[in-house]
Amino acid sequence: MTVIIQQPELLGYQEEDKQAPLSDDDVHELVLDGEFVVPETNSFGHTFRDYNAESERKNTVEEFYRMNHINQSYDFVKRMREEYGKLNRAEMSIWECCELLNEYVDESDPDLDEPQSEHLLQTAEAIRKDYPDEDWLHLTGLIHDLGKVLLHPSFGELPQWAVVGDTFPVGCSFDESNVHHKYFKDNPDYNNPSYNTKYGIYSKGCGLDNVMMSWGHDDYMYLVAKENKTTLPPAALFIIRYHSFYPLHRCGAYRHLMNEEDVENLKWLHIFNKYDLYSKSKVRIDVEKVKPYYLSLIEKYFPAKLRW
Ligand SMILES: [Fe+2]
Ligand SMILES: [Fe+2]
d(CA 193, ligand 1 centre) in Å: 31
- Provide the Cα torsion 176, 178, 183, 184; round to 10°: -70
Ligand nearest to the CA of 126: 2
d(CA 164, ligand 1 centre) in Å: 7
Residue 175 labelled as part of a binding site:
no
d(CA 280, ligand 2 centre) in Å: 10
Ligand nearest to the CA of 127: 2
- pLDDT for residue 60: 86
Confidence of residue 113 (pLDDT cuts 50, 70, 90): low
Contacts of 298 (CB under 8 A, 6+ apart): 93, 94, 95, 139
Question: What is the arithmetic mean of pLDDT over 203-228?
Answer: 98
Ligand nearest to the CA of 221: 1
DSSP string, 69-126: HHH--HHHHHHHHHHHHT--SEEE-HHHHHHHHHH---TT-TT--S-HHHHHHHHHHH
Residue 186 labelled as part of a binding site:
no
d(CA 197, ligand 2 centre) in Å: 31
Residue 135 labelled as part of a binding site:
no
Confidence of residue 30 (pLDDT cuts 50, 70, 90): very low
Residue 107 labelled as part of a binding site:
yes
Residue 119 labelled as part of a binding site:
yes
Decide the pairing of beta strands 169-170 and 90-92: unpaired
What are the residues whose beta carbon lies below 5 Å from ligand 1 (ion)? Answer: 24, 145
Tens digit of pLDDT for each residue in 262-278? 999 999 999 999 998 87
Q: Is the pLDDT confidence value at 205 over 70?
A: yes
d(CA 4, ligand 2 centre) in Å: 26
Average pLDDT, the chain: 84
Region of 87 on the Ramachandran plot (φ > 0 left; ψ -120 to 50 alpha; else beta): left
Tens digit of pLDDT for each residue in 44-63? 444 444 445 566 777 888 99
Whether the CB-CB separation of 169 and 184 falls below 8 Å is answered with no
d(CA 21, ligand 2 centre) in Å: 15
> Phi, psi (5° rounding) for residue 3?
-115, 125
Q: Is the pLDDT confidence value at 201 over 70?
A: yes
pLDDT over 70 percentage in the chain: 77
